[in-house]
Structure 1
Amino acid sequence: MLTLYIARHGQTEWNIEKRMQGWEDSKLTTLGLANAEALGEKLRDIPFQAAYVSTSGRAVDSAMAILKNRSIPIIKDDIFKEISLGSWEGKTFDDIKRNDPEMLDAYFQAPERYIPNEGGESFRQFEERVRRALGQIARKHREGNILLVTHSVFILMLLNIFKKRPIDDLWNSSYVHDTALAVAAIKENGDAVILKEGDGEHRMKQAGAAW
């Protein structure tokens, strides 16, 4: 059986500033790096066959902090990146709420009705990409332990797929704090059993929001 350990990247500067990141990027904070290292300590005895990582710098830096000097193959791929948010990226939540309130409400309350701006992904497009990402891992690994370091909405979508729920149920899972861990066992028929989600026991007390 394949066991997938799914971790969000550490807290970033834009998380503190409550800016949308998507495919754009910002650096890990000191706390974000420390939490990633703490997660690595938590997972130190798990024999990973490989680590799959979003190509965003915040995810790559988090994966390196989690794995430290462990000799584990690291596969970086754009397919594991966060949902693309187009012109929203880099803007604060308040800016978007002021200028595009209807779509922001749809984004969080009714994802099926959300219409992305230019360059962004719809949740349907994003779900298809997450499914392809999962398939990419499952085809190469029938058993063993795999680490996936990615992003909050990616993790929520992956969990939603595991739970076989419609897209509008996307947000009805445990909040994905920075470096939060989810664990899922993937059966040979493709079904998944979620063993853990939203686990942040390793995290240090936060002084700012992880958004």
Structure 2
Amino acid sequence: MSSEVHEHPRSEVIYRYIREAIARGVMTQESYADEVRMQFERLVPQPMRCLHFHDPEASASPSRALATNRKHVFRWFDPEATARMPVDLEEAVVEALPEPERTECRRELGWRLGLWGSIRRPLDASGDYCCLGDLAREFGQLSTVAGQMLANGGELGPQDAADLPELQRQARVLQANIQALIERADRRTAGASGASNVVHYPQETG
């Protein structure tokens, strides 16, 4: 359990990644809200859904349906509004993000709960290569960030205050990939010894 006190709520973390994806030009507010609708309908059984989205394809006015969904979704991220995002929506609003924002958002939300944020890979050989490739790439990126900071004064200090959050983020990503590799090795070792208490996680790509 994490004892850290957070400056911003979880919804603000998600909204930051939404803004980043929109700024990159890979989605609009309307297209994102429609993806939230589809993810929500996929993830939450119909009898358990706490709100109703409008399906543009089933609407006499698709543009109006998209606009209404956009209004519903983005009111949850308006700091001046009284509406708050229902907890059952969190998975959908995260899964609706494009990559790399989706993976980064998953990790950050996990860290806030004191978790490693490890991203599961397929349990076959492709997952092994993916895990090792990610580990090598993230180590290279962390080395670049840390090297640039050490070149500026020869040590980590006050002069690096603006760059420390990125160093911390890269270190946590590397930590997550190391944990993923450890978990893969643990599963293989336990499987080879015939252990019966191995936990087999669902196959999921990060």
Tell me which interval the TM-score lies in, with the shorter structure as reference length.
under 0.3
TM-score (norm 1): 0.24
Q: What TM-score does the superposition give when structure 2 sets the normalisation length?
A: 0.24
Which structure has the larger Rg over C-alpha atoms? 2
Structure number with the bigger relative contact order (C-alpha 8 A, sep ≥ 6) is 1
Compare the two structures and name the one with the higher strand fraction. 1
